[in-house]
A and B are shown apart, each in its own frame.
Chain A
Amino acid sequence: MSKLGQIGARLHRGEVSYDFIGHRKFWFSLSAVLVIVSLAGLFARGLALGIEFRGGVEYEANVKVTNSTVDDFTNTVKATNAKGLGDPVVTTINNQKVRVQTKPLDQTDIGRVRDAIGKEAGIPAEQVTSQQIGASWGKQIADKAVLALIVFLVLVFAVIWLYFREAKASAAAIIALVHDVTITVGVYALVGFDVTPATVIGVLTILGYSLYDTVVVYDKVRENTRGITGSNRFTYSDATNLAVNQTVVRSINTTVTALLPVGAILVVGTVVLGTGPLKDLSLALFVGIAIGAYSSIFIAPSLLAVFKEREPAMQALSKRVAAKKVQAAKAAAAPAEPATAGAPADAAARSVVQDAPRKADRATGSAPAASTRPMKAAAAGRPQPTRKPRSKRGK
Chain B
Amino acid sequence: MATSTSRPGRSLITLLVVIVLLFGIMALTRTWKPKLGLDLRGGTTITLTAKTIDGTGKVTADQLNEAKNIIGQRVNGAGVAESDITTSGSNIINVAVPGATKESLVSQVGQTALLYFRIVYSAQSLAPAPTPTTTPKPGTTPTPSATPKPSTKVTPSATIKPTGTPKGRAWTSALGQATPTPTPKASTTPKPSTPPATPSTPAASTDPLKYTPDAATQARFAAFKCADKDKQSDDPKQPLFSCDKSGQNKYLLGPAIMAGTDLSDASAGIPQNGLQWQVNLKFTGPGGDKFLKATTAISQRGQGNNLFAIVLDGVTISTPSVDNPIPGGQAQITGTFTESDARDLANVLKYGSLPVKFEISSVDTVSPQLGGDQLSAGIWAGIAGLALVVIFCFLYYRGLGLVVVLSLLAAGLLTGSLVILLGKAIGFTLTLAGIAGLIVAVGITADSFIIYFERLRDEVREGRSLRSSVETGWARAKHTIIAADSISLLAAIVLYVLAIGSVRGFAFTLGLTTLIDLVVVFLFTKPVVTLLARTDFFGHGHKLSGLDPEHLGVERLPGQTKPSARPRRTPSSRKPVGGEV
List residues of A whose CB falls within 8 A of some B CB.
1-2, 4-10, 12-13, 52, 60, 62, 107-108, 110-111, 114, 126-134, 136-137, 140-141, 144, 147-148, 151-152, 155-156, 159, 163, 197-198, 200-201, 204-205, 207-209, 211-212, 215-216, 219, 223, 246-247, 249-250, 253-254, 256-265, 267-269, 272-273, 276-278, 281-282, 285, 362-363, 365, 389-392
Say yes or no: A264 contacts B454, CB within 8 Å.
Answer: no
Q: Does the CB pair A137–B47 fall under 8 Å?
A: yes
Known A1-B395, A2-B551, A261-B439: A130·B486 in contact at CB below 8 Å: no
B494 pairs with A152, CB closer than 8 A: yes
- A108 and B103 in contact, given A6-B553, A254-B447, A268-B377 (Cβ under 8 angstroms): yes
Contact pattern, B 361-390, Cβ under 8 Å of A = 1, otherwise 0: 111111111100110111011101110110
Contacts of A215 in B (CB 8 A): 480, 483-484, 487
Binds A, one of B73-81, B244-252, B259-267, B501-509: B501-509
CA distance A126 to B457 in the complex (A): 58
In the complex, the answer to whether B367 meets A127 with C-beta atoms within 8 Å is: yes
* Highest count of chain B CB atoms <10 Å: which of A2, A198, A262, A276: A2
Task: Among B106, B366, B462, B567, find the residue whose CB has the most chain A CB atoms closer than 10 A.
Answer: B462
B555 smallest CB distance to A (angstroms)? 4
B49 interfacial by beta-carbon distance below 8 Å: yes
Is B19's beta carbon under 8 Å from chain A?
Answer: no
Residue of A nearest to B480 (CB): A219
Task: Determine if A126 and B447 form an interchain contact, defined as CB atoms under 8 angstroms apart.
Answer: no
Contacts of A204 in B (CB 8 A): 491, 494-495, 503
A to B CB contacts below 8 Å, 5 in the list = A201-B433, A204-B503, A253-B450, A281-B436, A363-B554
Complex CA–CA separation, A4 to B457 (angstroms): 13
Q: Chain A nearest CB: distance from B526 CB in Å?
A: 17
Known A-B contacts A127-B369, A216-B451; the reply to A12 vs B458 at CB < 8 A is yes
A118: nearest chain-B partner, CB-CB = B367
Say whether A9 contacts B552, CB under 8 Å.
yes
For chain B, what secondary structure do more than half of its interface residues adopt (helix, strand, loop), or is it mixed?
helix
Complex CA distance for A256 and B389, rounded to whole angstroms: 9
Residue of A nearest to B435 (CB): A278
The reply to whether B461 and A208 form a contact with Cβ atoms under 8 Å apart is: no
Most B CB within 10 A of own CB, among A7, A219, A362: A219
Interface residues of B (CB under 8 A from A): 47, 49, 89, 100, 102-104, 106-107, 359-370, 373-374, 376-378, 380-382, 384-386, 388-389, 392-393, 395-396, 432-433, 436, 439-440, 442-444, 446-447, 450-451, 454, 457-458, 461-464, 476, 479-480, 483-484, 486-488, 490-492, 494-495, 498-503, 506-507, 510, 550-555, 558, 567
When A133-B361, A211-B487 are in contact, do A277 and B433 touch as well, CB less than 8 Å? yes
Residues in A whose Cβ lies below 8 Å from that of B552: 5, 9
Q: Assess whether B450 is in contact with A9, with CB atoms less than 8 Å apart.
A: no
Q: Quick check: A151 and B494 within 8 Å, CB to CB?
A: yes
Check A261 against B491 for contact (C-beta < 8 Å).
no
Bound complex: CA of A7 vs CA of B365, how far in Å?
54
**A137 contacts which of B102, B106, B361, B369 (Cβ < 8 Å)?**
B361
Roughly how many angstroms separate A276 CA and B243 CA in the complex, as a whole number?
A: 45
Interface residues of A, dominant DSSP? helix
Chain B residues with Cβ under 8 A from A140's Cβ? 49, 361, 500
Complex CA–CA separation, A134 to B552 (angstroms): 58
Taking CB atoms, residues of chain B closer than 8 Å to A269 are: 377, 381
Whether B49 contacts A137 by the Cβ 8 Å rule is yes
Closest 5 CB pairs of A and B: A9-B553, A261-B385, A389-B463, A208-B491, A6-B553
CA distance A108 to B100 in the complex (A): 16
A126 surroundings in chain B (CB, below 8 A): 100, 367-368
| Closest Cβ neighbor of A219 among chain B residues | B480
**A257 — which chain B residues lie within 8 A by C-beta?**
389, 392-393, 443, 446-447, 450
State whether B486 touches A131 (Cβ < 8 A). no
Chain A residues, CB < 8 A from B393? 257
Contact B443 A278 (CB under 8 A): no
Residue of A127, A133, A277, A363 near B436 (CB, 8 A) is: A277
How far, in whole Å, are A127 and B454 apart by their CA atoms in the complex? Answer: 51
CB distance from B450 to the nearest CB of A (A): 5
The minimal Cβ–Cβ distance linking B204 to chain A, given in whole angstroms, is 35
Residue of A nearest to B448 (CB): A254
Question: Within the complex, what minimum Cβ distance (angstroms) separates A308 from chain B?
Answer: 19
Whether A285 pairs with B363 at a CB distance below 8 angstroms is no
Contact of A131 among B363, B396, B506, B550 (CB under 8 A): B363
A254–B442 alpha-carbon span in the complex (Å): 11
B503 A268 Cβ-Cβ under 8 A: no
Compute how far the CA of A278 lies from the CA of B454 in the bound complex, rounded to whole angstroms: 32
Partner of B484, one of A111, A129, A132, A216: A216
Contact A265 B550 (CB under 8 A): no
**Cα–Cα distance between A321 and B473 once the two chains are bound (Å):** 30
Check B361–A363 contact: CB distance below 8 A. no
CB distance from B444 to the nearest CB of A (A): 7
Please give, as numbers and ranges, the residues of chain B lying within 8 Å of A211 by CB-CB distance: 487, 491
* Interface pair A281/B506, CB less than 8 Å apart: yes
* Complex Cα spacing A2 to B547, Å: 11
Minimum CB–CB distance for B427 against chain A, Å: 21
Beyond known contacts A201-B495, A258-B446: 11 more, CB 8 A cutoff: A111-B103, A130-B364, A140-B361, A147-B498, A152-B490, A208-B487, A212-B447, A258-B440, A260-B385, A262-B440, A273-B374
- Does A136 lie within 8 Å of B359, measured CB to CB? yes
Bound complex: CA of A378 vs CA of B463, how far in Å?
25
Considering the chains assembled together, what is the distance between the CA atoms of A250 and B444 in angstroms? 13
Q: Who on chain B is nearest to A148 by CB?
A: B498
CA distance A60 to B558 in the complex (A): 63
**For residue B454, which residues in chain A have a CB less than 8 angstroms away from its CB?**
8, 247, 249-250, 253
Which of these, B103, B388, B462, B503, contacts A197 with CB under 8 Å? B503
Chain A residues whose C-beta falls within 8 Å of the C-beta of B553 in the assembled complex: 5-10
Residues of A contacting B494 in the complex (Cβ-Cβ under 8 angstroms): 148, 151-152, 155, 204
- Given A219-B483, A391-B462, CB of A254 within 8 Å of CB of B476: no
Nearest residue (CB) in B for A155 is B490
Chain B residues with CB below 8 A from A273, complex form: 373-374, 377
Contacts of B367 in A (CB 8 A): 126-129
A residues less than 8 Å from B49 (CB atoms): 134, 136-137, 140
A278 in contact with B373 (CB, 8 Å): no
* Minimal beta-carbon separation of B129 from chain A (angstroms): 36
The answer to whether A156 and B490 touch across the interface, beta carbons within 8 angstroms, is: yes
Determine the chain A residues whose CB is within 8 A of the CB of B382 once the complex forms.
Answer: 261, 264
A277 to B365, CA, bound (A): 14
A155-B495 Cα distance, complex, nearest whole Å = 12
Complex interface: chain B residues within 8 A of A205 (CB): 440, 491, 495, 506, 510
CA distance A392 to B107 in the complex (A): 77
**Also in contact, A390 and B462, with CB within 8 A (given A5-B550, A362-B555):** yes
Q: Are B436 and A282 in contact (CB under 8 A)?
A: yes
Q: How far is the CB of B163 from chain A (nearest CB, A)?
A: 40
A281 to B366, CA, bound (A): 19
A265, B381: Cβ atoms under 8 Å? Answer: yes
Q: Which residues of chain B are near A132, meaning CB under 8 Å?
A: 106, 360, 362-364
Whether the Cβ atoms of B462 and A261 lie closer than 8 Å is no
Q: In the complex, are the beta carbons of B384 and A144 less than 8 A apart? A: no
Is B551's CB under 8 angstroms from A272's CB?
no
Among A62, A144, A246, the residue within 8 A (CB) of B458 is A246
Contacts of A247 in B (CB 8 A): 454
How far apart sit A114 and B476, CA to CA, in the bound complex (Å)? 60
Known: A212-B487, A281-B506. A12 touches B461 (CB 8 A): yes
A212–B443 alpha-carbon span in the complex (Å): 12
Q: Is the CB of B500 within 8 A of A263?
A: no
- Chain A proximity of B79: nearest CB distance (Å): 17
In the complex the two chains form, is A391's CB within 8 Å of B491's CB? no
Residue of B364, B492, B500, B550 near A144 (CB, 8 A) is B500
A residues within 8 A CB of B439?
Answer: 261-262, 264-265
Docked CA distance A201–B434 (Å): 12
B447 and A144 within 8 A (CB): no
- What CA separation (Å) do A82 and B384 show in the bound complex? 44
